[in-house]
Amino acid sequence: MTGPVEDERAVAADVPFATRAFEVIWPEAPLPPAPRWPPGSWLLLTDEHPAALGRAVALALALAETGDEALSLPQDDFGELPGFLAGRPVRGVVFLTGAPHAYHDPEDARELLRTVSSVVARLDRGVRFHLVTQARDEPGLVFLRGLIRVLACERPDLRASIVDFDARSDVDTLARELRADAPEDEVRWRHDVRYAARLTRVAPAAEVPAGPGAYVVTGGFGSLGLATARWLADHGATRIVLSGRRGGVADLPGVDVVVVAGDLAEPGVADRLIAEATAGGLALRGIVHAAGVFTEDAEAVWRARVLGTRRLHEATSESQPVWWLLCSPATALFGSPGRVAGATADAWLDAFAAWRRSRGLPAAITRVGAGQVSPAVWRPYFSAVLEEFVHHGEEPGSP
Protein backbone atom coordinates (compact mmCIF):
# COMPACT_ATOMS: atom_id res chain seq x y z
CA MET A 1 0.00 0.00 0.00
CA THR A 2 1.97 2.95 -1.29
CA GLY A 3 1.34 6.27 -2.95
CA PRO A 4 2.90 9.60 -3.82
CA VAL A 5 4.47 11.65 -1.05
CA GLU A 6 2.81 15.02 -0.42
CA ASP A 7 4.59 18.08 -1.76
CA GLU A 8 4.32 21.62 -0.45
CA ARG A 9 1.29 22.36 -2.63
CA ALA A 10 -0.66 20.09 -0.30
CA VAL A 11 -0.41 22.67 2.47
CA ALA A 12 -1.08 25.75 0.35
CA ALA A 13 -3.95 27.94 1.49
CA ASP A 14 -5.92 27.54 -1.74
CA VAL A 15 -5.97 23.72 -1.66
CA PRO A 16 -9.21 22.45 -0.05
CA PHE A 17 -8.43 20.28 2.97
CA ALA A 18 -10.86 17.59 1.83
CA THR A 19 -8.77 16.95 -1.28
CA ARG A 20 -5.65 16.11 0.73
CA ALA A 21 -7.16 13.96 3.51
CA PHE A 22 -6.33 10.27 3.31
CA GLU A 23 -7.27 7.23 5.36
CA VAL A 24 -6.63 3.51 5.25
CA ILE A 25 -9.69 1.37 4.60
CA TRP A 26 -9.95 -2.43 4.79
CA PRO A 27 -12.10 -4.00 2.06
CA GLU A 28 -12.41 -7.78 1.89
CA ALA A 29 -9.68 -9.42 -0.18
CA PRO A 30 -10.21 -13.18 -0.54
CA LEU A 31 -7.03 -15.21 -0.58
CA PRO A 32 -6.10 -16.27 -4.13
CA PRO A 33 -5.35 -19.94 -4.82
CA ALA A 34 -1.81 -20.95 -4.01
CA PRO A 35 0.50 -21.38 -7.01
CA ARG A 36 1.53 -24.94 -7.79
CA TRP A 37 4.88 -24.66 -6.05
CA PRO A 38 7.10 -27.70 -5.57
CA PRO A 39 7.88 -28.38 -1.89
CA GLY A 40 9.98 -25.56 -0.49
CA SER A 41 11.63 -24.24 2.66
CA TRP A 42 10.73 -21.39 5.00
CA LEU A 43 12.83 -19.65 7.60
CA LEU A 44 10.88 -18.88 10.79
CA LEU A 45 12.25 -16.22 13.14
CA THR A 46 10.71 -14.94 16.37
CA ASP A 47 11.22 -12.29 19.03
CA GLU A 48 11.82 -15.06 21.59
CA HIS A 49 8.53 -14.34 23.36
CA PRO A 50 6.83 -17.62 24.42
CA ALA A 51 3.71 -16.86 22.38
CA ALA A 52 5.80 -16.34 19.24
CA LEU A 53 7.87 -19.46 19.83
CA GLY A 54 4.76 -21.58 20.30
CA ARG A 55 3.15 -20.19 17.16
CA ALA A 56 6.33 -20.83 15.18
CA VAL A 57 6.32 -24.51 16.19
CA ALA A 58 2.66 -24.84 15.20
CA LEU A 59 3.31 -23.08 11.89
CA ALA A 60 6.21 -25.42 11.13
CA LEU A 61 3.88 -28.40 11.59
CA ALA A 62 1.20 -26.80 9.40
CA LEU A 63 3.72 -26.13 6.62
CA ALA A 64 5.01 -29.71 6.90
CA GLU A 65 1.50 -30.98 6.18
CA THR A 66 1.63 -29.17 2.82
CA GLY A 67 4.97 -30.74 1.96
CA ASP A 68 7.12 -27.72 2.88
CA GLU A 69 9.76 -27.63 5.57
CA ALA A 70 10.39 -24.92 8.14
CA LEU A 71 13.82 -23.95 9.42
CA SER A 72 14.56 -21.72 12.38
CA LEU A 73 17.39 -19.54 13.63
CA PRO A 74 17.65 -18.39 17.28
CA GLN A 75 17.63 -14.64 17.85
CA ASP A 76 21.16 -14.77 19.25
CA ASP A 77 22.31 -16.05 15.85
CA PHE A 78 20.59 -13.47 13.63
CA GLY A 79 24.03 -12.14 12.73
CA GLU A 80 24.64 -15.42 10.89
CA LEU A 81 21.56 -14.93 8.72
CA PRO A 82 23.33 -14.15 5.40
CA GLY A 83 25.47 -17.29 5.61
CA PHE A 84 22.48 -19.35 6.72
CA LEU A 85 20.44 -18.25 3.69
CA ALA A 86 23.35 -18.64 1.28
CA GLY A 87 23.57 -22.32 2.07
CA ARG A 88 19.90 -23.16 1.57
CA PRO A 89 17.36 -21.41 -0.69
CA VAL A 90 14.17 -20.50 1.12
CA ARG A 91 10.83 -19.37 -0.24
CA GLY A 92 10.35 -16.73 2.42
CA VAL A 93 11.56 -15.39 5.75
CA VAL A 94 8.80 -15.12 8.36
CA PHE A 95 9.20 -13.08 11.56
CA LEU A 96 6.57 -13.87 14.22
CA THR A 97 6.03 -11.45 17.10
CA GLY A 98 4.86 -12.25 20.62
CA ALA A 99 1.83 -11.27 22.67
CA PRO A 100 0.56 -7.67 22.44
CA HIS A 101 1.16 -6.90 26.11
CA ALA A 102 4.88 -7.43 25.57
CA TYR A 103 5.02 -4.20 23.54
CA HIS A 104 2.73 -1.85 25.42
CA ASP A 105 5.80 0.06 26.64
CA PRO A 106 7.09 2.17 23.70
CA GLU A 107 10.69 1.32 24.58
CA ASP A 108 9.94 -2.39 24.15
CA ALA A 109 8.26 -1.62 20.83
CA ARG A 110 11.31 0.27 19.67
CA GLU A 111 13.58 -2.61 20.62
CA LEU A 112 11.38 -4.88 18.50
CA LEU A 113 11.82 -2.47 15.60
CA ARG A 114 15.59 -2.65 15.99
CA THR A 115 15.46 -6.45 15.92
CA VAL A 116 13.25 -6.63 12.84
CA SER A 117 15.31 -3.97 11.06
CA SER A 118 18.49 -5.94 11.75
CA VAL A 119 16.91 -8.97 10.08
CA VAL A 120 15.80 -6.95 7.05
CA ALA A 121 19.28 -5.46 6.65
CA ARG A 122 20.73 -8.96 6.30
CA LEU A 123 18.32 -10.22 3.65
CA ASP A 124 19.49 -10.54 0.06
CA ARG A 125 17.40 -10.09 -3.04
CA GLY A 126 15.10 -12.91 -4.07
CA VAL A 127 13.57 -13.76 -0.69
CA ARG A 128 10.21 -12.44 0.47
CA PHE A 129 9.88 -11.06 3.99
CA HIS A 130 6.70 -11.54 6.07
CA LEU A 131 5.91 -9.98 9.46
CA VAL A 132 3.24 -11.86 11.43
CA THR A 133 1.44 -10.27 14.39
CA GLN A 134 -1.56 -10.74 16.62
CA ALA A 135 -1.76 -7.07 17.53
CA ARG A 136 -5.29 -6.78 19.02
CA ASP A 137 -4.98 -3.02 18.28
CA GLU A 138 -1.84 -2.69 20.45
CA PRO A 139 0.10 0.32 19.04
CA GLY A 140 3.38 -1.36 19.97
CA LEU A 141 2.75 -3.95 17.21
CA VAL A 142 0.50 -2.05 14.79
CA PHE A 143 3.26 0.55 14.32
CA LEU A 144 5.25 -2.00 12.28
CA ARG A 145 3.03 -0.97 9.37
CA GLY A 146 5.29 2.05 9.03
CA LEU A 147 8.31 -0.19 8.44
CA ILE A 148 6.50 -2.13 5.72
CA ARG A 149 5.56 1.09 3.94
CA VAL A 150 9.14 2.33 3.96
CA LEU A 151 10.42 -1.04 2.73
CA ALA A 152 8.01 -0.80 -0.20
CA CYS A 153 10.03 2.25 -1.27
CA GLU A 154 13.51 1.18 -0.13
CA ARG A 155 13.51 -2.57 -0.74
CA PRO A 156 10.79 -3.50 -3.25
CA ASP A 157 12.78 -6.67 -3.95
CA LEU A 158 11.74 -8.02 -0.52
CA ARG A 159 8.01 -7.66 -1.28
CA ALA A 160 7.70 -7.13 2.48
CA SER A 161 4.28 -7.69 4.02
CA ILE A 162 2.62 -7.63 7.42
CA VAL A 163 -0.18 -10.05 8.29
CA ASP A 164 -2.21 -9.55 11.46
CA PHE A 165 -4.42 -12.31 12.85
CA ASP A 166 -7.17 -12.31 15.42
CA ALA A 167 -7.50 -15.00 18.08
CA ARG A 168 -9.83 -17.09 15.89
CA SER A 169 -7.30 -17.53 13.09
CA ASP A 170 -5.33 -20.74 13.30
CA VAL A 171 -1.89 -21.53 11.91
CA ASP A 172 -3.42 -23.39 8.95
CA THR A 173 -4.76 -20.01 7.80
CA LEU A 174 -1.32 -18.49 8.21
CA ALA A 175 0.25 -21.33 6.22
CA ARG A 176 -2.25 -20.74 3.40
CA GLU A 177 -1.51 -17.00 3.48
CA LEU A 178 2.21 -17.60 3.14
CA ARG A 179 1.96 -20.20 0.38
CA ALA A 180 -0.48 -18.08 -1.66
CA ASP A 181 2.26 -15.48 -2.18
CA ALA A 182 -0.44 -12.81 -2.63
CA PRO A 183 0.56 -9.30 -3.76
CA GLU A 184 -0.96 -7.38 -0.83
CA ASP A 185 1.58 -5.96 1.62
CA GLU A 186 -0.78 -5.30 4.54
CA VAL A 187 -3.40 -7.89 5.47
CA ARG A 188 -5.76 -8.57 8.36
CA TRP A 189 -7.67 -11.76 9.17
CA ARG A 190 -10.80 -11.17 11.24
CA HIS A 191 -13.29 -13.94 12.03
CA ASP A 192 -11.83 -16.02 9.19
CA VAL A 193 -12.30 -13.21 6.67
CA ARG A 194 -9.31 -11.66 4.91
CA TYR A 195 -8.98 -7.88 4.48
CA ALA A 196 -6.29 -5.85 2.71
CA ALA A 197 -5.30 -2.23 3.32
CA ARG A 198 -6.21 0.35 0.70
CA LEU A 199 -5.46 4.07 0.74
CA THR A 200 -8.39 6.35 -0.04
CA ARG A 201 -9.28 10.02 0.12
CA VAL A 202 -11.79 11.07 2.76
CA ALA A 203 -13.62 14.32 3.40
CA PRO A 204 -13.80 15.19 7.13
CA ALA A 205 -17.00 16.66 8.50
CA ALA A 206 -16.96 20.25 9.74
CA GLU A 207 -16.76 21.16 13.39
CA VAL A 208 -15.11 24.15 15.08
CA PRO A 209 -13.54 22.97 18.37
CA ALA A 210 -12.23 26.32 19.68
CA GLY A 211 -13.75 28.74 22.19
CA PRO A 212 -13.32 29.66 25.86
CA GLY A 213 -11.24 27.22 27.87
CA ALA A 214 -7.67 25.95 28.20
CA TYR A 215 -5.55 24.47 25.43
CA VAL A 216 -2.16 22.75 25.35
CA VAL A 217 0.08 23.04 22.28
CA THR A 218 3.27 20.96 22.21
CA GLY A 219 6.02 21.96 19.83
CA GLY A 220 4.61 25.37 20.62
CA PHE A 221 7.56 27.40 19.36
CA GLY A 222 7.89 25.89 15.93
CA SER A 223 6.08 27.48 12.99
CA LEU A 224 3.26 24.96 13.20
CA GLY A 225 2.83 25.34 16.98
CA LEU A 226 2.82 29.13 16.87
CA ALA A 227 0.36 29.19 13.97
CA THR A 228 -1.91 26.88 15.94
CA ALA A 229 -1.67 29.03 19.07
CA ARG A 230 -2.57 32.16 17.11
CA TRP A 231 -5.56 30.41 15.56
CA LEU A 232 -6.80 29.31 18.97
CA ALA A 233 -6.31 32.83 20.32
CA ASP A 234 -8.29 34.28 17.41
CA HIS A 235 -11.12 31.86 18.17
CA GLY A 236 -11.64 32.70 21.82
CA ALA A 237 -9.16 30.60 23.81
CA THR A 238 -8.91 31.68 27.45
CA ARG A 239 -5.53 30.11 28.22
CA ILE A 240 -2.91 28.52 25.98
CA VAL A 241 -0.07 26.47 27.45
CA LEU A 242 2.89 26.23 25.08
CA SER A 243 5.43 23.46 25.44
CA GLY A 244 8.91 23.37 23.95
CA ARG A 245 12.27 21.89 24.81
CA ARG A 246 13.85 25.31 25.27
CA GLY A 247 10.81 27.49 25.87
CA GLY A 248 10.28 30.82 24.14
CA VAL A 249 8.03 33.86 23.96
CA ALA A 250 4.65 34.17 22.28
CA ASP A 251 2.68 37.41 21.99
CA LEU A 252 -1.03 36.57 22.02
CA PRO A 253 -2.96 39.64 23.24
CA GLY A 254 -6.00 38.92 25.37
CA VAL A 255 -4.97 35.34 26.13
CA ASP A 256 -3.36 33.92 29.26
CA VAL A 257 -0.20 32.40 27.78
CA VAL A 258 1.79 29.96 29.92
CA VAL A 259 5.16 28.57 28.79
CA VAL A 260 6.43 25.23 30.09
CA ALA A 261 9.96 24.44 28.95
CA GLY A 262 11.25 20.89 28.95
CA ASP A 263 11.44 17.58 27.10
CA LEU A 264 7.92 16.20 26.92
CA ALA A 265 9.27 12.65 27.02
CA GLU A 266 10.77 13.25 30.46
CA PRO A 267 8.64 12.30 33.50
CA GLY A 268 6.73 15.22 34.99
CA VAL A 269 6.75 17.62 32.04
CA ALA A 270 3.36 16.54 30.68
CA ASP A 271 1.91 16.67 34.21
CA ARG A 272 3.09 20.28 34.51
CA LEU A 273 1.43 21.15 31.21
CA ILE A 274 -1.94 19.81 32.30
CA ALA A 275 -1.65 21.32 35.79
CA GLU A 276 -0.94 24.76 34.31
CA ALA A 277 -3.79 24.44 31.83
CA THR A 278 -6.38 23.51 34.45
CA ALA A 279 -5.16 25.83 37.22
CA GLY A 280 -8.01 27.69 38.87
CA GLY A 281 -10.53 25.13 37.69
CA LEU A 282 -10.39 26.06 33.99
CA ALA A 283 -11.64 23.25 31.75
CA LEU A 284 -9.13 21.57 29.42
CA ARG A 285 -10.74 21.91 26.02
CA GLY A 286 -8.13 20.74 23.54
CA ILE A 287 -4.61 19.43 22.98
CA VAL A 288 -2.58 19.83 19.81
CA HIS A 289 0.47 17.57 19.87
CA ALA A 290 2.82 19.03 17.26
CA ALA A 291 6.16 18.22 18.89
CA GLY A 292 8.70 16.51 16.67
CA VAL A 293 6.71 16.83 13.44
CA PHE A 294 9.68 18.05 11.41
CA THR A 295 12.44 16.37 13.38
CA GLU A 296 14.81 14.20 11.34
CA ASP A 297 16.87 12.70 14.18
CA ALA A 298 15.61 9.18 14.89
CA GLU A 299 15.99 9.43 18.66
CA ALA A 300 14.27 12.81 18.81
CA VAL A 301 11.45 11.60 16.56
CA TRP A 302 10.65 8.68 18.84
CA ARG A 303 10.91 10.71 22.04
CA ALA A 304 8.76 13.58 20.83
CA ARG A 305 6.04 11.75 18.94
CA VAL A 306 5.76 8.44 20.78
CA LEU A 307 7.04 8.92 24.33
CA GLY A 308 5.62 12.44 24.43
CA THR A 309 2.19 11.15 23.41
CA ARG A 310 2.26 8.47 26.08
CA ARG A 311 3.21 11.04 28.72
CA LEU A 312 0.29 13.25 27.69
CA HIS A 313 -2.07 10.29 27.74
CA GLU A 314 -1.02 9.42 31.27
CA ALA A 315 -1.15 13.05 32.42
CA THR A 316 -4.76 13.47 31.23
CA SER A 317 -6.12 10.38 32.98
CA GLU A 318 -8.01 12.64 35.42
CA SER A 319 -8.55 15.65 33.11
CA GLN A 320 -9.59 14.45 29.67
CA PRO A 321 -9.72 17.14 26.97
CA VAL A 322 -12.77 17.56 24.75
CA TRP A 323 -10.54 16.86 21.75
CA TRP A 324 -6.96 15.86 21.06
CA LEU A 325 -5.31 16.44 17.70
CA LEU A 326 -2.10 14.52 16.91
CA CYS A 327 0.00 16.02 14.11
CA SER A 328 1.74 13.54 11.86
CA PRO A 329 3.59 13.76 8.53
CA ALA A 330 2.37 11.63 5.65
CA THR A 331 5.16 9.05 5.96
CA ALA A 332 2.94 6.75 8.04
CA LEU A 333 0.57 6.44 5.08
CA PHE A 334 2.85 6.61 2.07
CA GLY A 335 6.27 5.57 3.30
CA SER A 336 9.46 7.39 2.35
CA PRO A 337 12.99 6.08 1.70
CA GLY A 338 15.30 6.49 4.68
CA ARG A 339 12.49 7.48 7.03
CA VAL A 340 11.94 4.33 9.12
CA ALA A 341 12.03 6.23 12.42
CA GLY A 342 9.52 8.81 11.24
CA ALA A 343 7.20 6.37 9.49
CA THR A 344 7.05 3.95 12.43
CA ALA A 345 6.58 6.75 14.97
CA ASP A 346 3.75 8.15 12.88
CA ALA A 347 2.19 4.71 12.46
CA TRP A 348 2.38 4.35 16.25
CA LEU A 349 0.48 7.66 16.58
CA ASP A 350 -2.17 6.41 14.14
CA ALA A 351 -2.60 3.22 16.11
CA PHE A 352 -2.60 5.03 19.44
CA ALA A 353 -5.31 7.41 18.27
CA ALA A 354 -7.44 4.42 17.21
CA TRP A 355 -6.64 2.70 20.52
CA ARG A 356 -7.88 5.75 22.47
CA ARG A 357 -11.03 6.07 20.40
CA SER A 358 -11.84 2.40 20.96
CA ARG A 359 -11.85 3.20 24.67
CA GLY A 360 -14.13 6.23 24.34
CA LEU A 361 -11.29 8.77 24.57
CA PRO A 362 -10.86 11.63 22.08
CA ALA A 363 -8.08 11.48 19.49
CA ALA A 364 -7.67 12.36 15.84
CA ILE A 365 -4.76 12.51 13.40
CA THR A 366 -4.01 15.30 10.95
CA ARG A 367 -1.37 15.07 8.23
CA VAL A 368 0.81 18.15 8.11
CA GLY A 369 2.86 17.74 4.96
CA ALA A 370 6.32 16.54 4.12
CA GLY A 371 8.48 19.54 4.97
CA GLN A 372 8.63 22.70 7.03
CA VAL A 373 7.20 25.81 5.40
CA SER A 374 6.71 29.36 6.51
CA PRO A 375 4.17 30.42 9.16
CA ALA A 376 2.32 32.32 6.42
CA VAL A 377 1.46 28.97 4.85
CA TRP A 378 0.95 26.96 8.03
CA ARG A 379 -1.50 29.34 9.65
CA PRO A 380 -4.28 29.16 7.01
CA TYR A 381 -3.60 25.45 6.58
CA PHE A 382 -3.96 24.68 10.25
CA SER A 383 -7.06 26.85 10.41
CA ALA A 384 -8.57 24.59 7.76
CA VAL A 385 -7.51 21.49 9.69
CA LEU A 386 -9.08 22.63 12.94
CA GLU A 387 -12.25 23.98 11.39
CA GLU A 388 -12.84 20.63 9.71
CA PHE A 389 -11.76 18.60 12.73
CA VAL A 390 -14.19 15.85 13.65
CA HIS A 391 -14.21 13.53 16.65
CA HIS A 392 -13.73 10.23 14.84
CA GLY A 393 -15.14 6.85 15.72
CA GLU A 394 -13.43 3.72 14.39
CA GLU A 395 -11.15 3.86 11.38
CA PRO A 396 -13.19 4.04 8.17
CA GLY A 397 -13.80 0.56 6.85
CA SER A 398 -11.99 -1.09 9.75
CA PRO A 399 -13.00 -4.75 10.11
Q: What is the pLDDT of residue 397?
A: 40
Query: What range does the domain containing 264 cover?
Result: 8-21+203-387
Give a yes or no: residue 176 inside a domain: yes
User: What is the per-residue pLDDT for 9?
Assistant: 30
Strands across the sheet with 284-289, in order?
Answer: 256-261, 239-244, 214-218, 284-289, 323-328, 364-367
Mark whether 305 and 218 lie in a shared domain. yes
Q: Based on the fold, state whether residues 40 and 17 are members of the same structural domain.
A: no
pLDDT at 330: 66
pTM for this predicted structure = 0.84
Question: Of the candidates 196, 216, 236, which is a domain's last residue?
Answer: 196
Cβ contact 329:342 at 8 Å: yes
Please, what are the averages of pLDDT over each run of 10 residues along the chain (399 residues)?
A: 33 35 84 85 94 94 93 90 85 95 94 95 90 94 94 92 91 93 94 90 59 90 81 91 78 89 92 95 92 78 91 93 85 69 90 92 76 42 45 41
Question: What is the domain-level CATH number for residue 111?
Answer: 3.40.50.11460
CA 262 to CA 270: how far, in whole Å? Answer: 9
Q: Is residue 192 part of a domain?
A: yes
Residue 394 lies in a domain: no
Instruction: Look at residue 135 and tell me if it is in a domain.
Output: yes
Q: CB atoms < 10 A from the CB of 100, how many? A: 18
Q: Are strands 364-367 and 323-328 parallel, antiparallel or unpaired?
A: parallel
